[in-house]
Amino acid sequence: MIKPHGSNELNPLFVYDSAKREALQAEAEKLPSLLLNSAAAANAVMLGGGYFNPLTGYMNLADSLSVADKMHTVDGLFFPVPIVNITSETGVKAGSRIALRDPNVKGHPVLAVMDVDAVEDVSEDQIAFMSEKIFRTTDPEHPGVATFNSLGRTMVSGPIQVLNFSYFQTDFPDTFRTAVEIRNEIAEHGWEKVVAFQTRNPMHRAHEELCRMAMEQLDADGVLIHMLLGKLKPGDIPADVRDASIRKMVELYFPPNTVMVTGYGFDMLYAGPREAVLHAVFRQNCGCTHLIVGRDHAGVGDYYGGFDAQTIFDEEVPKGALELQIFGADHTAYSKKLNKVVMMRDVPDHTKDDFVLLSGTAVREMLGKGIAPPPEFSRPEVAKILSDYYQTLDN
């Protein structure tokens, strides 16, 4: 199986030994507490699950600035975005041991225990510098920039020990999986070549066929459909609805034992190219050999070019930094001429009228009225689940 990023073995920060975990839990109740924001809590969940291997905790300011600028830490570890705990709290002291509390669960239970190596002030200029590098913009209307700017100006860094996976394990018991669990399941299947498909949206026919194309062209053993389960921007479809629609599609339209439907506990960054590289890092940690990167991967609005998330792997990711490879995909749509879903780049003889193309707004309006999109665009069973959801919004 493909090695994890940065090490020979995966090193999740979740404390798997139950006796040690109970002892840490008891200790944490007596420690000074820091209530995390959702972004820092999501980072803890990802660190706990082994997704951000080989990191041992939150980055300090020097590493964060270096990663933002050059995509590597001061010591040279390749990493595409800073993994940070930035807060507005100022009472934390360097050298202390603290309990990190979960902002997303009632009662704010302890999520992790942290040994604080450093507490550093982050200037407005440094926030702007990191925003520009990570998001390619400092526009406060960009949802990722808006979140990053709102976190605070105090960076708390150091190693952590994770005690639970926040709400993800309880809210999505059939879907949430750690990188450890995904690796184990891939091994159980005996898969060697595995393609990952990232999604924060339901999957329509084009997405379904894209997974099929990647599998066939790469001669892959299986596909990991890996959905984001954390916080999104307003208007995005909730994780439980996406989960139901994706599972229905896989059940009906893929051969048995060729697809794993799973999810991960992270808040969307909308960082376009940099987030695509982060997706590649943690899919390698999951045991995947390939990642599908399509048009405007992890993008939002008009902040990124259609293929920027592909070209970053050729132009900015150092050769050999990742073992995982990219399957670069063009926009996919149903061809009326060929009666199948195709990549648009593969059919230069087609005009716009030769495709079934619907905007997201048009699809939402149709579903909200109980009208199913054309079967060339969306499987009817998937459309039914989405339509039921959209109609609840109007009631």
Enumerate the active-site residues. 200-201
Residue in the structure block whose two tokens are 């150091």? 158
d(CA 51, CA 288): 12
CA–CA distance, 159 with 376 (Å, rounded to integer): 50
HSE-up (13 A, CA, CB side) for residue 195:
24
Beta strand 33-35 pairing with 57-58: unpaired
3-state secondary structure the chain: CCCCCCCCCCCCCECCCHHHHHHHHHHHCCCCEEECCHHHHHHHHHHHCCCCCCCCEECCHHHHHHHHHHCECCCCCECCCCCCCEECCCCCCCCCEEEEECCCCCCCCEEEEEECCEEEECCHHHHHHHHHHHHCCCCCCCHHHHHHHHCCCEEEEEEEEECCCCCHHHHCCCCECCHHHHHHHHHHHCCCCEEEEEECCCCCHHHHHHHHHHHHHHCCCEEEEEEECCCCCCCCCCHHHHHHHHHHHHHHHCCCCCEEEEEECCCCCCCCHHHHHHHHHHHHHHCCCEEEECCCCCCCCCCCCCCHHHHHHHHCCCCCCCCCEEEECCCEEEECCCCEEEEHHHCCCCCHHHEECCCHHHHHHHHHCCCCCCCCCCCHHHHHHHHHHHHHHCC
Give the contacts of 243 (CB within 8 A, at least 6 positions apart).
172, 174, 175, 227, 261, 263
